[in-house]
Structure 1
Amino acid sequence: MLLRHRQFHTRAAVISMADGGHGGSFGELVAFRQGFYDCLTRRGDVLFELCEAVLCADGPVRSMVGLSLVGEHRRGHGALYDAVNHGRVEIACLRTALAGVRLPRAADGRLVLAVDVSPWLRPDGATCPDRSFCHTYGRGRNEHQMIPGWPYSIIAALETGRSSWTAPLDAQRLGPGVDILAVTASQIRDLVGRLIDAGQWRENDPDMLFVLDAGYDGPRLAYLLSDLPIQILVRLRSDRVFRRPAPEYLHPPEGGRPARHGGEFVFKDPASWGTEDIATHTDTRRYGAATVVAWNRLHPRLQRRSAWADWVGPMPILEGTVIRLTVEQLPSGGVNKPVWLWWSGTDTTIGDVDRCWRMFLRRFDIEHTFRMWKQTLGWTRPQVRDPDSADRWTWLILTAYTQLRLSRALAADLRLPWEKPVAPHRLTPARVRRGFRHIRAKTGSPASAPKPSRPGPGRPPGVKNRHHATRYDVGLVLVTGQTYTRPAHHQKGTKPRRTAQTPARG
């Protein structure tokens, strides 16, 4: 595997030198395609041509079997399904190749990466194992649904400015009953190690910034990854309560131990905020006036429960910076609410605060990537049964999108008659895909030609299938592995239980 990785970068350097000084885009694309083919160790020709069909198909991918009719896929539909179900993709080698590709960076040269979960919904897949309930949004406002499927944790590098492009670097399926934060921490740790080995980060470079939405415990994630050159930026709920630093211990005459926490900082109570440490006002073209205020060295008061239930000794103090962002208007015309952010850095400057809220708004670019995968590339279209097959197909889609990103400087604007022309550097992934067939003709294909063969006899006519697939139940599984049961006062038809108001806590 290490030898393949070295061959991949050597091939990229040789072709880039022969590219005529065009930034290495064509050479990098050819090298990545060859490196991707080397990662396919079983049914490699079929898997490679299947990825080619995804990129060269006319219009959105509606079904996986329909890709066998695309000209770039020279095999039959039987070979297509056999490759997805029984092929082999060296994911470790492919992850290493993705870490070595050129990545977008912020203005100060740092890598900004977004982490989010996107589900592959399989509500009717009763024979699919390892399904768990995935959180989805309904059609109405504030309508949330839990639908069975396979959730995938995706990490992608973000660009600056208004763009629908990202650079996906890793995808990992989340099994039922796992600690999502622990899996995310391990995923980030492995990715950072690969980026450092590939030379994407060196000593004295700015720390990498990982941006996450609400649902992740930012302070705990920053504590688990405190030994890495990274920073964590996460959105917080508006009902949180943080604590200020403990006051100085003055040795009172009556004795007593020193306090570990200062006064409360209640997000919903402006009277508890006090004087902000940093305040900025920025005029934006999309959101109008953006007002940002920040308070330094705030921390949550941890409790011995959930992930901290087995903690031995005093609870750690996880200090960071709390940022409150308010904008004048929203493009969608929705309810304008303030956004609360927590950044793992301290001793914050105006430049740090400005970078944090701008990069958090760029985090939503990963939603464009998910929509491109699902609506155009057909990520969730196949009705596969085996989770391993879903993983292979997911990595094919991720690799196909990476090839589109490497082809941005080579693609022409093949716009439809009713579409407006755009600059070459502003082409969207869908428009780049329209011209990928012409780019592919110049890069060549490492896949070998198919050998003539005859289809198998299949099941004899009139014989029923006596090997029925096993059916799997989907239940709410907790981190402990136990099945979740709804409390009695949450059951339908019962009155809600009244409880006394609990005191505010961090």
Structure 2
Amino acid sequence: MSRVRGEFYACLTARRDVLFELTDAVLCAVGAVRSVPELTLTPEHRRGHGAMYEGLNAGRIDIGRLRNLLCGISLPRFPDGRLVLAVDVSPWLRSDAACSPDRLFCHVYGRAKSASELIPGWPYSFVAVLEPGSSSWTQILDVVRLGPEDDATALTAAQLRAVVDRLIAGGQWREGDPEIVIVADAGYDVCRLGWMLADLPIEMVGRLRSDRVMRLPKPPYAYDPKGGRPPKHGPEFRFADPGSWPRPEVTTVTSTSGYGKAEAQAWDRVHPRLTHRSSWLDHDGPLPLVEGTLVRLKVEHLPKDRAAPPIWLWSSKTGATGGDVDRIWQVFLRRFDLEHTFRLFKQTLGWTRPKLRTPQAADRWTWLLIAAHTQLRLARPLAADLRHPWERPAAPGQLTPARVRREFRNLRPKLVCPARAPKPSRPGPGRPPGSRNRRRATRYDVGKTVKRRERLPDNHVLAKPERVTRP
């Protein structure tokens, strides 16, 4: 813990003392963080609220060094020694910040059933390491804010490639170790991600929509006296039409504690039929065949005896066995642990509480909370259970992040605190009372700023060339 805190302090290159004390104030505050200026009233923060805002707006963090630090600490692994990563996007909603640039329309579920809204905000892409078993703990390794000019799939692929390279450089993966599994939800183009990251030692697992149509492998070549090019794809595989399903290559049945009997059916070398549209619009040359394993998971019931519709999963691994199929859907169910981390960030650590104008200040605040969450995970085996009278006692190794945070104030005096004491100073005069602000802030539009090149429709007909008469 002391070594990580000292290296985190070294990653702060400007206003390091106030940023470090602000992180400790988040960890030691009583209850959830409701107001960021109130953090300056805690004993751990020895500076005023003006210094706090100055640190968030003008401070600097060596992000590359901090990322290497996060990838170099001890990471949770599954029983076979495998690293399992999850990638997901969580928005910082800023619907009332018209003077904040780089905002996008973020998809947010509404209060009504099957309702969704598009609210302006800053979407952040997180990459975290998952733990085996039922747990709300994750280890955040990287975060990237999506801008108006970014392609979500290309940015996610570059982010995952950088994370895997840092894990290999930090000794977390060596030649001969099991492949790193990366889990994504239905909002990602998992087939394209698997193709873009095919040169890395990873296995891409993601969920597909239940109305997708994919293709089976092409049948063996048979001579056709009529000639013609042999087929490139096999027959269609319609998720909503069981009549188009061939016999599965692998079928497994597993008994679970929370879902009853889980039946998984798998088909090998199932791939989408790609066309020169959307993300493949600028692809040069023939389109590739992105083959993988398609898994249909059906459980008896969800928690509280709710109906359980089947889910479809796709893995970039081909030739999967029964053990591989069970691992695919089991690691996907662990992906929802990242949702508990997002809830902790927003409801307990106050991630979206500050009313910051610039996205750069929001990035600094996000990295401070990631460093705070990392310290909570490292303090997990050291913390005592300070539970409320109405809470059930928990085992020493099963404390939630919120319970570990209650004990952090008692652990802090035993840890290294490299922040220096504040120097006495007086606040500036500020703007004279009664004067108007003559510098109006710039207002920014919301949404994408890059227009996608249009594609010619399939039924378009070229204009006939004009007839040229020779003299």
Unpaired runs of at least 5, structure 1: 1-28, 483-506
User: 3-state SS of the aligned residue for 2:161?
Assistant: helix
Tell me how far apart the structure 2 counterparts of residues 407 and 298 of structure 1 sit (CA, whole Å): 45
Aligned position for 2:58: 86
**Given the alignment, which residue of 300, 314, 319 partners 1:342?**
314
**Given the alignment, which residue of 192, 203, 211 partners 1:239?**
211
Tell me how far apart the structure 1 counterparts of residues 210 and 433 of structure 2 sit (CA, whole Å): 63
Matches within 5 A, 1:296-315: 296-315=268-287
Aligned position for 1:418: 390
Tell me how far apart the structure 2 counterparts of residues 263 and 479 of structure 1 sit (CA, whole Å): 35
Amino acid at match of 2:452: T
Tell me how far apart the structure 1 counterparts of residues 304 and 96 of structure 2 sit (CA, whole Å): 33
Tell me how far apart the structure 1 counterparts of residues 438 and 307 of structure 2 sit (CA, whole Å): 56
Report the more deviating stretch, 217-226 or 389-398. Answer: 217-226
Corresponding position: 1:331 with 2:303: yes
> In the alignment, is the contact (CA less than 8 A) between 2:5 and 2:416 conserved in 1?
no
TM-score of the two chains, using structure 1 as the length reference = 0.88
Aligned position for 1:374: 346
**Given the alignment, which residue of 12, 19, 26 partners 1:54?**
26
Tell me how far apart the structure 1 counterparts of residues 411 and 14 of structure 2 sit (CA, whole Å): 26
**Given the alignment, which residue of 184, 191, 204 partners 1:219?**
191
Aligned position for 2:419: 447
Aligned position for 2:76: 104
User: 3-state SS of the aligned residue for 1:363?
Assistant: helix
How far is the alpha carbon of 1:455 from its aligned partner?
1.0
Corresponding position: 1:205 with 2:177: yes
Amino acid at match of 2:350: G
Amino acid at match of 1:89: I
User: 3-state SS of the aligned residue for 2:303?
Assistant: coil
How far is the alpha carbon of 1:248 from its aligned partner?
1.6
Corresponding position: 1:359 with 2:331: yes
Aligned position for 1:475: 447
Deviations 1:207-256 (A, max 9, x none): 10000000111111111111110110000000111111111222322221
User: 3-state SS of the aligned residue for 2:393?
Assistant: coil
Amino acid at match of 2:393: P
Moved over 6 A (4+): none
Deviations 1:108-136 (A, max 9, x none): 11100000000000000011000000000
Tell me how far apart the structure 1 counterparts of residues 211 and 104 of structure 2 sit (CA, whole Å): 28
Matches within 5 A, 1:262-341: 262-341=234-313
Amino acid at match of 2:422: P
CA RMSD of aligned residues (A): 1.2
How far is the alpha carbon of 1:476 from its aligned partner?
5.2
**Given the alignment, which residue of 388, 396, 407 partners 1:435?**
407
**Given the alignment, which residue of 102, 107, 115 partners 1:135?**
107
Aligned position for 1:389: 361
Amino acid at match of 1:210: I
Tell me how far apart the structure 2 counterparts of residues 314 and 352 of structure 1 sit (CA, whole Å): 31
TM-score of the two chains, using structure 2 as the length reference = 0.95
Tell me how far apart the structure 1 counterparts of residues 306 and 151 of structure 2 sit (CA, whole Å): 33
> In the alignment, is the contact (CA less than 8 A) between 1:52 and 1:73 conserved in 2?
yes
How far is the alpha carbon of 1:332 from its aligned partner?
4.8
Matches within 5 A, 1:137-152: 137-152=109-124
How far is the alpha carbon of 1:479 from its aligned partner?
6.3
Report the more deviating stretch, 86-95 or 242-251. Answer: 242-251
Unpaired runs of at least 5, structure 2: 455-471
Amino acid at match of 2:13: T
Deviations 1:440-463 (A, max 9, x none): 110030001111111111111121
Tell me how far apart the structure 2 counterparts of residues 322 and 258 of structure 1 sit (CA, whole Å): 24
Amino acid at match of 1:221: L
User: 3-state SS of the aligned residue for 2:120?
Assistant: strand
**Identity across matched positions, percent:** 60
**Given the alignment, which residue of 116, 126, 129 partners 1:154?**
126
**Given the alignment, which residue of 141, 149, 155 partners 1:183?**
155
How far is the alpha carbon of 1:264 from its aligned partner?
1.0
Tell me how far apart the structure 1 counterparts of residues 215 and 163 of structure 2 sit (CA, whole Å): 32
Tell me how far apart the structure 1 counterparts of residues 377 and 314 of structure 2 sit (CA, whole Å): 31
Tell me how far apart the structure 2 counterparts of residues 451 and 192 of structure 1 sit (CA, whole Å): 43
Report the more deviating stretch, 458-467 or 73-82. Answer: 458-467
How far is the alpha carbon of 1:480 from its aligned partner?
2.8
> In the alignment, is the contact (CA less than 8 A) between 1:129 and 1:386 conserved in 2?
yes
> In the alignment, is the contact (CA less than 8 A) between 1:177 and 1:481 conserved in 2?
no
Tell me how far apart the structure 2 counterparts of residues 361 and 444 of structure 1 sit (CA, whole Å): 38
